[in-house]
């Protein structure tokens, strides 16, 4: 059984200045993540700009991710769509290409009702690869409350949730009402934060870690924070949390992944520009990001 626990990185997709995918740069980023001790990687998510990637680019990125990870760390591939038929195709592709799991987001724009959501995730789970639900109402327009998540969690093959509701009560309800009872029964429902700022609160309540944006640049720090929290070293975890908060704020000063790609570029890692419709950082945002990175010693 794949363990979706610890610090996972929601990988960016590096681009060239012309807007082409930098496949060699993508491989280098994964090698960097592994060398820094990350627990897992998530290509083709929101941070990876999957809405603007074509299928050939996606398949090449999955191929590189699986080959470079080489069983050392799990690869959880973004496979979501607001069309259930396409989601099934993407989930089948992830399975066929050797991914360890599929991250399936709440269908966006359609705003499906409860019955539609339940059937959507049933269809994902039938593919036969572990499925992690991605709950992020700020991007999809539809939250999955704990009561509905409890029903989804009973579907065989649903492995857990990337919880990005920014609702600490909902996170606690999911852990208390779903994850902990399953654990007591010898099963697992992994609960991962989808927001760097909630890594410590969620793990402190009994969650399992984070799918992180800032770990694109600071994987060792995010891994240290997550490990400390999961192992009950809360003073150490709290210190790391407060150390990272300024960069977390700066990394989301504008729409993700625009700031983190700029931060990686300044740090000498492959990133390049985001694809349209995502534009460049505003001058004020760029100055704030650079100041934060300099103040933290990330930039000299």
Q: Which of 211, 177, 175 is nearest to 192 (CA)?
A: 211
- Is 134 marked active-site? yes
DSSP 201-222: HHHHTT--EEEESGGGT-HHHH
Distance of CA 172 to the CA centre of its chain: 19
Instruction: Check: CB of residue 72 under 8 Å from CB of residue 40.
Output: no
Q: Which of 203, 192, 227, 239 is nearest to 36 (CA)?
A: 227
Distance of CA 51 to the CA centre of its chain: 15
Please identify which of the residues 8, 90, 95, 162 carries the catalytic annotation: 162
Please identify which of the residues 8, 90, 134, 198 carries the catalytic annotation: 134
How far apart are alpha carbons 179 and 191 in whole angstroms?
A: 7
- Is 109 marked active-site? no
- State whether residue 21 is helix, strand or coil: strand
Residues with a known catalytic role? 134, 162
């Amino acid at each position: 059984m794949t363990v979706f626990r610890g610090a996972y990185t929601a990988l960016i997709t590096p681009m060239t200045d012309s807007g082409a995918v930098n496949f060699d740069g993508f491989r280098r980023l994964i090698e960097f993540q592994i060398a820094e001790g990350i627990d897992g990687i998530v290509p083709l998510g929101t941070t990876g700009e999957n809405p603007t990637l074509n299928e050939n680019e996606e398949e090449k990125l999955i191929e590189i991710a699986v080959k470079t990870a080489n069983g050392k760390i799990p690869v959880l591939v973004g496979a979501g769509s607001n069309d259930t038929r396409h989601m099934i195709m993407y989930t089948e592709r992830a399975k066929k290409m050797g991914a360890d799991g599929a991250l399936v987001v709440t269908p966006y724009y359609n705003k499906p009702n409860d019955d539609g959501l339940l059937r959507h995730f049933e269809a994902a789970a039938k593919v036969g690869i572990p499925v992690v639900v991605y709950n992020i109402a700020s991007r999809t327009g539809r939250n999955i409350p704990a009561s509905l998540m409890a029903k989804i969690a009973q579907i065989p093959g649903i492995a857990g949730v990337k919880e990005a509701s920014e609702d600490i009560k909902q996170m606690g309800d999911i852990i208390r009402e779903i994850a902990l009872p399953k654990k007591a029964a010898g099963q697992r429902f992994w609960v991962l934060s989808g927001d760097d700022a909630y890594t410590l609160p969620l793990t402190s309540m009994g969650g399992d870690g984070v799918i992180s944006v800032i770990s694109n640049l600071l994987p060792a720090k995010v891994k240290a924070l997550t490990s400390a929290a999961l192992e009950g070293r809360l003073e150490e975890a709290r210190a790391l949390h407060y150390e990272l908060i300024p960069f977390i704020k700066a990394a989301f000063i504008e729409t993700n992944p625009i700031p983190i790609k700029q931060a990686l570029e300044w740090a000498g890692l492959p990133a390049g520009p985001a694809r349209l419709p995502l534009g460049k950082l505003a001058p004020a945002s760029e100055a704030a990001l650079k100041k934060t990175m300099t103040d933290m010693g990330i930039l000299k």
